[in-house]
Amino acid sequence: YDLLFPDEQNGLCALSWFADGAPLAAAEHVAMALGVPGASTVDVFARLADRSLVTVDIAANGEVRYRLLDSVGAFARGRLDEAGLTDRARTAHAEWFEMASVVALGEQRTANQARHVAFIRTERANLDAALGWTAANDPAQGLRIALGFGWASVILGEGGIGAERLRLALHACGSSATDADRALTLSLIAWNESGADLERAWADAVLAVEIADRTGDDSVITISRFASAFVLFQRGHTGAAIDVLERWHADARTETLLWDRGMQAMLLGYASFAAGDSQRAGATGAEAERLLPLVSDDWLASHFEAILGQLAQIELRYPDAAAHLTRAAQAARRAHMTATEGFHLASLGVVLHQAGDHETAIATFEEAIRLATTVGLMRIAAFTRVRLGTLLHGLGEVEPARAALSTADEWFRASGGGAEAAIARCLLAAMDADDDIPDAAQRLTTILESARTDGDSAVQVLALDCLAGIDARAGNIAAAVDLLARADELMESLGHRLVEHDRIDARRARELISAGVDSRPSLPS
């Protein structure tokens, strides 16, 4: 170190405050703050690399990243501290990430969106270091950084980690945060948190809407409404989500921007599909098809493909549905949006299951679970395990089905439930009934009553089918026939949400009823 020129010493110290390496532009910015001339920074770093104090990584796209060994970094931070320049280095470090966040905020709905998603994945440790510094020294700057990368964090699928980063930045600002920033931050927190804790996400979404309404800012109000609709959808309250989305459109006071219209169509499409509303789903599918060529946002475009896939699924055009969902997953993969890719693969697995391609469906579900687990988006993993368990249950693979459903059930119970939670409990109770577990019938009755209260017709049908099977096995043929008739009546209002292919226990109950009727002695004429 003593043999280095002063610029080289300062260059080494500049690199020491980066976590897990420094991108070239950021390293130059901090080095210049420490007195290294801008025209000399690259040469300085090159000389440090020649002396084996710095390693240089060059990515396939030509981007340069500098790294230090931990021991070298610790030594350089000590020298920086001795010189009284630590605050200057850390301030410059935070300044550069704030500038990067401004660019990310401006491009969050454009074709460059994927670049900022990749940036968060690479620079997460540096972002956290910058936010740690700003929390104590410039909280307003920290909130700007967190908000700038907030939507990219949602797309990346950071879930609870992303929510906590935003929450800490908002808390550090205290009462100095504006209502607009507070509402936007809470909306992003709710969106991220819905993948981990639905009750907390809903509380944040409600507060975001309340604060947003005070601002009178249409853009802030729109984002808060989208967040609340998304959380409602994740909770399984699809009717309420649709109501929020449609009321927002009716109340909008300015011309709807393309991205806002696209987001509304995307959320309405998913909610309508989950609610079994074929007519509304068809309308949003047509809107998605119209908007698809107009948007440059990879994330939104991939969801439009998925909406078109679900519309084809409603119409039983399974090859078309699979093609759309495959394109949706491929688009997400190209943009390195792992969470989104996992979500689309889960939907593709459902289509393959309904089309009868069970082997490919199982492999697709397993890949979706792997991807969702990799990024920590456990709600998608739980949803997919329910679908995988349903398929395995129908194939008679009892233990693998039970394992998938039990894992999903445990997660739902710990995280505030969700749209698929009741289905998991219903199928687990059905398998217990097959094994003559004494309380299985009572659990199914409780599930049925809860589904009636919640207006969840799909779960009611599955529970009625299972109870019919229990009665049929016990020889209560009349009761079993009545339960199946009630289930069949409910099926007429379900549309595409539940198809006959999914009613495994109904088929078994009918077989038992047929066998029971055929085995009775003939009555005299």
Three state DSSP letters for 315-356: CCCHHHHHHHHHHHHHHHHHCCCHHHHHHHHHHHHHHHHHCC
Give buried/exposed letters for 191-206 (b at 16+ CB in 10 A, else e): bbbbbbbbebbbebbe
pLDDT grade for 343, boundaries at 50, 70 and 90: very high
Name 65's bridge partners: 23, 57
Q: What is the pLDDT of residues 210-234, one digit of tens each?
A: 999 999 998 899 999 999 999 999 8
* Residues with Cβ within 8 Å of residue 223, at least 6 apart in sequence: 183, 184, 187, 212
- pLDDT score, position 517: 55
Does residue 321 surpass a pLDDT of 90?
Answer: yes
Cα 219 from Cα 209, distance rounded (Å)? 12
- pLDDT score, position 296: 80
Q: What percent of the chain has pLDDT over 90?
A: 55
**Higher per-residue confidence, 259 vs 76:** 76
Q: What is the pLDDT of residues 151-170, one digit of tens each?
A: 999 888 888 889 999 999 99
**Higher per-residue confidence, 409 vs 508:** 409
- pLDDT score, position 493: 76
Does residue 31 surpass a pLDDT of 90?
Answer: yes
Say what the pTM is: 0.82
Does residue 93 surpass a pLDDT of 80?
Answer: yes
Q: What is the mean pLDDT of residues 99-122?
A: 89
Highest mean pLDDT among 286-290, 305-309, 492-496: 305-309
Q: 436 in helix, strand or coil?
A: coil
CB atoms within 10 A of CB 132: 16
Does residue 519 surpass a pLDDT of 50?
Answer: no
- pLDDT score, position 375: 81
Q: For Cα atoms 197, 201, 202, give the angle at the middle one, nearest 5 degrees.
A: 120
Q: 67 in helix, strand or coil?
A: strand
pLDDT grade for 81, boundaries at 50, 70 and 90: very high
Element containing residue 135 per DSSP (H, E): helix 113-137
Question: Which 8-state DSSP code applies to residue 237?
Answer: -
Q: Are residues 411 and 427 in contact, defined by beta-carbon separation less than 8 angstroms?
A: no
Among candidate residues 238, 182, 192, the one with its CA nearest the CA of residue 214? 182
Among candidate residues 356, 364, 379, 358, the one with its CA nearest the CA of residue 329? 364
Does residue 365 surpass a pLDDT of 70?
Answer: yes
Q: What is the mean pLDDT of residues 261-279?
A: 86
Q: Give the mean pLDDT of the chain.
A: 89
Helix segments in 236-293, DSSP class H:
238-251, 258-275, 278-291
- pLDDT score, position 518: 52
pLDDT grade for 523, boundaries at 50, 70 and 90: very low
Q: 459 in helix, strand or coil?
A: helix
Q: What is the pLDDT of residues 395-444, one digit of tens each?
A: 889 899 999 999 999 999 888 777 688 889 988 998 888 888 888 889 99
Cα 223 from Cα 501, distance rounded (Å)? 38
Cα 524 from Cα 392, distance rounded (Å)? 45
